């Protein structure tokens, strides 16, 4: 029996009133089978998460987890935020005798070096290009200490979950590696296939090209002295991903990766394969021709970026992610306060000069979560 039109309107109005009354921050869960739900704020007692849908009997690689955490950690270099957190992860459930149980893996990382008083003078001021104004308008209240839940501190939970996703991918010899390919106007002018990606970890900014890395470091020191910040780009490569990962139409693999990357703080753009350069190419130049070698079908080029029709085709998946400059700068800026009165601020405290170096493991983590989730969805994981 269909509801009468006036009954439908009453229900719609009631639902709208509920939404207005209870302003809830939803969508704290990522993934479909392999799911990560996170909690915590930048200056809360702790941050953490729950990993659900993770297979049982997988040996936990604690060395991998700690390595991923260390790569993202603050205060490693002069251009990093100098917030000195130890980032020691405590697992509360889901692991026994060094292996996963198949039950939810809950973990927590306690915040130790918060210095919340640094933000007292900013609590009634909307910082330019931050989430202050939008959070305040949407929820009627915001945690101004370090940006609360809008802080990049949140991404530590993603990196921990990403390490678990990598454990699944390692069993299938699927490798994910990212590197800094540009900071400001200094870029690595080589295709990833021409680089020794093994050199990435030896660079303090995770750039495998030594000359470009040195120039980037000089630029970061210059920007730091100016009290300013700068953006950059990360390139990520997924190798040995099997054919058939991803779903057509609204769950295309590139769309899932784009959503994951655009969820990362400060990300402004995503492109995969030939990306925007394909605009200038003819179809005859852009098409990836198929060939068969020893009974295996592949393509002679890879402008598709390893994805065709939204589904992985067995070639390397590669994409780039653009990051804006960190908006917290030591230069005077004009803004308004919570009473709509004009004011100015200069943001001191501890902030990254550039978000890109510390975001490399975050990009890898989110890519790993997407691929591992799809691997489980496809039934290809065993």
Q: Give which of 166, 163, 195, 193 is closest to 71, Cα–Cα.
A: 163
pLDDT score for 1: 42
- φ and ψ at 9, to 5 degrees? -65, -35
Take residue 268 and report the two structure tokens written for it.
């402004």
Region at 115 (left for phi over 0; alpha for psi -120 to 50; beta for the rest): left
Of the two residues 81 and 285, the one the predictor is more confident about is: 285
Of the two residues 121 and 37, the one the predictor is more confident about is: 37
pLDDT score for 118: 76
pLDDT tens digit sequence for 131-168: 999 999 888 888 888 888 999 999 999 999 999 999 99
Domains of the chain: which residue ranges? 27-378
- φ and ψ at 353, to 5 degrees? -70, -35
If you average pLDDT over each of 71-75, 125-129, 242-246, which comes out highest?
Answer: 242-246
The helix/strand count (H/E) of the chain reads as 8, 18
pLDDT score for 343: 94
Pairing of strands 186-187, 95-96: unpaired
- The pLDDT of 20-29, averaged and rounded, is 78
- The pLDDT of 260-278, averaged and rounded, is 97
Whether 2 has a pLDDT exceeding 70, the answer reads no
| Contact (Cβ atoms closer than 8 angstroms) between residue 250 and residue 135 | no
Superfamily of domain 27-378: Chorismate synthase AroC (3.60.150.10)
Cα distance between residue 178 and residue 205, in whole Å: 12
- The pLDDT of 351-359, averaged and rounded, is 94
- The pLDDT of 234-253, averaged and rounded, is 97
Least confident of 60-69, 304-313, 371-380: 371-380
pLDDT score for 335: 94
Average pLDDT over the chain, rounded to an integer: 92
- The pLDDT of 195-216, averaged and rounded, is 96
pLDDT band at 113 (very low <50, low <70, confident <90, very high): confident
pLDDT band at 380 (very low <50, low <70, confident <90, very high): confident
Cα distance between residue 27 and residue 358, in whole Å: 24
């Amino acid at each position: 029996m269909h509801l009468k039109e006036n009954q439908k309107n009453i229900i719609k109005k009631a639902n709208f009133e509920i939404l207005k009354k209870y302003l809830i921050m939803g969508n704290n869960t990522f993934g479909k089978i392999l799911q990560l739900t996170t909690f915590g704020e930048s200056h809360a007692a702790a941050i953490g998460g729950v990993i659900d849908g993770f297979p049982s009997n997988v040996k936990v690689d604690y060395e991998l987890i700690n390595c991923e955490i260390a790569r993202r950690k603050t205060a490693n270099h002069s251009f990093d935020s100098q917030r000195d957190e130890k980032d020691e992860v405590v697992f509360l459930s889901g692991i026994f005798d060094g292996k996963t149980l198949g039950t939810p893996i809950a973990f927590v990382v306690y915040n130790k070096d918060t210095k919340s008083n640094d933000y007292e003078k900013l609590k009634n001021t909307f910082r330019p290009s931050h989430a202050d104004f939008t959070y305040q308008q949407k929820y009627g209240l915001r945690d101004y200490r370090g940006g609360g839940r809008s802080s990049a501190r949140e991404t530590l939970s993603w990196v921990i979950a990403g390490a678990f996703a990598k454990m699944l991918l390692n069993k299938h010899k699927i490798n994910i590696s990212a590197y800094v390919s540009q900071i400001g106007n200094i870029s690595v002018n080589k295709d990833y296939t021409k680089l020794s990606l093994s050199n990435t970890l030896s660079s303090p900014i995770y750039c495998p090209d030594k000359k470009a890395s040195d120039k980037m470091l000089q630029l970061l020191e210059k920007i730091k002295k100016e009290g300013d910040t700068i953006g950059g780009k990360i390139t990520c490569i997924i190798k040995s991903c099997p054919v058939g990962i991803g779903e057509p139409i609204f769950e295309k693999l590139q769309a899932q990766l784009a959503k994951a990357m655009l969820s990362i703080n400060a990300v402004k753009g995503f492109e995969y394969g030939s990306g925007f350069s394909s605009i200038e190419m003819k179809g005859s130049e852009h098409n990836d021709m198929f060939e068969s070698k020893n009974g295996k079908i592949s393509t002679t080029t890879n402008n598709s970026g390893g994805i065709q029709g939204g589904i992985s085709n067995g070639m390397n998946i590669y994409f780039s992610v653009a990051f804006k400059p960190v908006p917290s700068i030591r230069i005077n800026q004009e803004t308004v306060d919570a009473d709509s009165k004009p004011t100015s601020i200069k943001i001191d405290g501890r902030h990254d000069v550039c978000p890109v170096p510390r975001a490399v493991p975050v990009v890898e983590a989110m890519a790993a979560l997407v691929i591992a989730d799809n691997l489980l969805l496809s039934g290809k994981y065993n």
